Structure 1
Amino acid sequence: MARFLILGCGWVGEAFALLAVARGQEITVTVTSEEKAQRLRDQGVEALVHNFDQSAALALEEQHFDYVLNSIPASKKNEILFVKNRFQNVAKLLGNLAYQKHIYLSSIGIYPEQSQSFDESFSDEAQMSDILLLAEKIVGPLPNTIVYRLGGLFGQQRIFAKYFQDKVCQSGEQSANFIHLDDVVQLLWLGFTQPLSQPVYNVVCLHHPKKEAVIRASAAKYGYGLPSAFADGASYDKVVSGDQIVRELNYSFVYPSPLDF
């Protein structure tokens, strides 16, 4: 049995926690509300209420974990000094813990909004999202750390067509750089339990259909109405490659394409 610590147990963290519990692992998580903490406790997860914007001090009974999943968000909506304080607190906590591997969940939003293909070798920091880059720079250098840059997340009640029903869609000609929640949790499990050679991985479906095609497939599958119109208003078409982690882990997707979601 392995011991997992999940910092900032949001949507992805909760799905992974429940997977790990089902596989007989010991899970401790942090959340920001007592209501969610109690809900997770009822499902066999040790949950602590903590806000990293306020403090790095976390009341842990144990200081050693096999694996740490860090899903503390670095939202582009936050001011940069706000994010800096948050992640410095996270780094301070992790610096006082012993662990074998730490995976931090970042985003492919770090890449610029340009008509270009991006893989993990892209290194022009001047063009990257300053907020997301700052968070990666603070926690990335910590020992045994791997960064997962997640594509657009869907699954469960997050259904792409739902967000465009009866609205004008201006991004239909853009390529979809998406990933399903079920594939994220499987790639997290494999990333913790198998060796990885690189510090950063894009976690994105291998297939990149146009968003209009994804909306149409999603609407047909789940019974949502289509947009009132598709208007070509996109100024760029970015494609993000997730090939690297797939090759290393020899991974077969549950949902190979966003058309399957």
Structure 2
Amino acid sequence: MQNLKRVSILGCGWLGLPLAEHLVTNGYQVYGSTTTPEKLELFRQKNIQPFLINLSDLSESSTLIEFLDSDFLIISFPPRLRAGGESLYLPQMERLAKALKQSSVKQVLFISSTSVYRDVNGWVTENDLEALIKESPLYQAEILLQSSNHYKTTVFRFGGLVGGSRHPGRFLAGKMEVPQPESPVNLIYLDDSLQLCFRMIQNPIPHNEVFNAVADKHPSRQEFYTAAAKALQLAPPQFTMHDTPQYKIISNEKIKAALAYEFIRPDPMLFF
């Protein structure tokens, strides 16, 4: 890194906080946002400049402008699925996009999800436009951010996020009649999520781009979640055995080639 860069992370949660810590360790000036006042002191202790930002609160415009006085923005908060939060997501992103036009930010990394793809019962790449769920708030946000001429946006479509506080053994342990036992999983471990983001910050792509980000291998749901539960000595889930297949297998070949990246945890069966 030749010059000290300022990086703003909108949403310092499961991914954003350890990423902020990693950037601070590597000499970056980091602005971190949260909607939880209790986290502000934690950020200060970790040398992350704290910002309390709620994109639904129009009274916080000056705070948002200060937060975006940065070179690089990482957007790392998903739509809230409860209490109608999903319907609020796109208006929040529209407000952010408007503020970005008046900011110093030149590069955006938007953390999206492979949930923007429908089940096609086969492989899915970034070029499979027919597989996209175009009404998805995440996909709509991708389009919104990549439509601007004021900055360039890279989209990472992460698979299911595992690691840290998210041990997959707890996800389905003890549940009965879990569907789709033979469907392949599309997952990514926290270590790989952090390293992929860090590589993009170090060497931003000078044009809009979209990448899938999942581990190399795709064991079945039954194989993976049974082993994960047993690793915690929990009751394994019980699966139904007569489902019509509904699945997708996400390809990660594009991101591996573009970033010359080899996954730290390529096999989800070694996540635990």
Task: Report the alpha carbon displacement of residue 237 of structure 1 after superposing the two structures with TM.
Answer: 1.9
Q: Which residue of 2 aligns with 1:154?
A: 162
One of 172, 185, 202 as aligned partner of 1:164 = 172
Deviations 1:41-97 (Å, cap 9, x if unpaired)? Answer: 221111111100123714255754221101132345546652221111110121111
Q: Residue 191 of structure 1: SS of its match in structure 2?
A: helix
Kindly indicate whether residue 133 of structure 2 is the aligned counterpart of residue 133 of structure 1: no
**Paired residues for 1:68-147 under 5 Å:** 68-75=73-80, 78=84, 81-124=87-130, 127-142=133-148, 143-147=151-155
Letter paired with 1:151:
G
Matches of 1:132 and 1:61 in 2, distance apart?
25
SS of the residue aligned with 1:148?
A: strand
SS in 2 for 1:72: coil
RMSD: 2.2
Where 1:230 maps in the other structure, the secondary structure is coil
From 218, 226, 231, the counterpart of 1:216: 226
TM-score w.r.t. the length of structure 1 is 0.90
CA distance in structure 1 between the aligned counterparts of 2:246 and 2:135, rounded to whole angstroms: 16
**Contact map agreement 1:201 1:244 (CA 8 A) in 2:** yes
Q: Alpha-carbon deviation of 1:214?
A: 1.3
**Partner residue in 2 for 1:177:** 186
Cα distance, 1:58–1:255 mapped onto 2, change above 3 Å = farther
Aligned residue among 10, 13, 23 for 1:10 = 13
**C-alpha deviations, 1:19-62, integer Å up to 9, x for none?**
11122211101110110122222211111111001237142557
SS in 1 for 2:211: strand
8 Å CA contact 2:124–2:131 kept in 1: the answer is no
CA distance in 1, matches of 2:30, 2:244: 43
Residues 251 and 24 of structure 1, relative CA distance in 2, 3 Å threshold:
same
Aligned equivalent of 1:66: 71
Is the 1:150–1:204 Cα contact (8 Å) retained in structure 2? yes
In structure 2, list runs of 5 or more residues that go unmatched. Answer: none
Confirm or deny: 8 A CA contact 1:161 1:219 kept in the other structure: yes
Partner of 2:269: 259
User: Shift of residue 217 of structure 1?
Assistant: 2.9
Q: Percent identity?
A: 25
Q: Secondary structure at the match of 1:187?
A: helix
Which runs of 5 or more structure 1 residues have no equivalent in the other structure?
A: none
